Chain A
Amino acid sequence: MKYRKTKMEIIKQKHIIMKKQKIILVILSVLLVQVITGCQQGQRQEATDLLSDSFKDNELRLNDAMIREMISSVPNPLEITSVLQKTGVVYSQDLLNPAGNINNYNTNFQRALNLGVYGTDLIYMNIYDRTVATLRYLSNIRELASDLRVEQFFDYNTLNRLSESSKNVDSVLFITNTGFDRMTRYLIDQGRSNIAILISAGTWIESLYIATHAQTTPANKEIINKRIGEQKKVLDNLLLLMNSYDHNSDFNHLIEDLKSLKKQFDNVTITYQYAEPSIKESDGMLVVVDNSRSIVDISDETIKNITREIALLRNRVIE
Chain B
Amino acid sequence: MKKYFLLFSLIFLVLSANKSFSQCGDALLNICHGRLENARFIKSWPIQLPERARGETLPQVSFKLPLTSGNTYKIFACDATEYEGKVIISIRNQKDDLVVTSYMVEQNRHIPVIMFPVLMSGIYTFSFYFEDGKEGCAVGVVSIAD
Contact = CB atoms under 8 A, between A and B. Distances in A.
A290 B70 contact: no
B81 interface: no
Given A72-B63, A230-B68, A285 B42 contact: no
Interface of B: 29, 33, 36, 38-44, 63-71, 93-95, 97, 99-100, 102, 111-123, 144
A188 B130 CA distance: 28
A286 B100 contact: yes
A96 interface: no
A75 B68 contact: yes
Contacts of B43: 72, 76, 177, 181
A288 B41 contact: no
B42 A294 contact: no
Contact of A170 (B29, B41, B63, B93): B41
A290 B119 contact: yes
A45 to B, nearest CB: 35
- Contact size class for A? 35 or more
A170 B38 contact: yes
Contacts of B42: 76, 78-79, 177
B113 A290 contact: no
B68 A272 contact: no
A226 B136 CA distance: 41
Contacts of A279: 100
Contacts of B112: 284-285
A73 B99 contact: no
Contacts of A170: 36, 38-41
Contacts of A192: none
A177 B42 CA distance: 6
18 contacts: A78-B40, A78-B144, A79-B71, A127-B40, A177-B42, A177-B43, A178-B29, A181-B44, A230-B68, A233-B123, A274-B93, A274-B95, A284-B111, A285-B113, A286-B113, A288-B117, A292-B93, A293-B120
Contacts of A78: 40, 42, 144
Given A174-B36, A284-B111, A82 B116 contact: no
Given A177-B42, A279-B100, A286 B115 contact: yes
A277 B68 contact: no
B36 A294 contact: no
B102 A286 contact: yes
Nearest to B112: A284
Contact of B64 (A69, A83, A293): A69
Contacts of B41: 170, 173-174, 177-178
Interface string A271-308: 01110110101101111111111100000000000000
A86 B72 CA distance: 11
Given A272-B122, A290-B119, A80 B99 contact: no
B29 A230 contact: no
A311 interface: no
A10 interface: no
Interface string A260-273: 00000000000011
Contacts of A226: 69
Which 5 residue pairs spanning A and B have beta carbons closest together? A285-B113, A292-B120, A174-B41, A294-B120, A290-B119
Given A79-B68, A226-B69, A227-B70, A285 B115 contact: yes
Contact of B68 (A227, A288, A293): A227
Contacts of A234: 66
Given A178-B44, A281-B111, A284-B111, A73 B70 contact: no
Contact of B111 (A69, A73, A286): A286
A86 B70 contact: yes
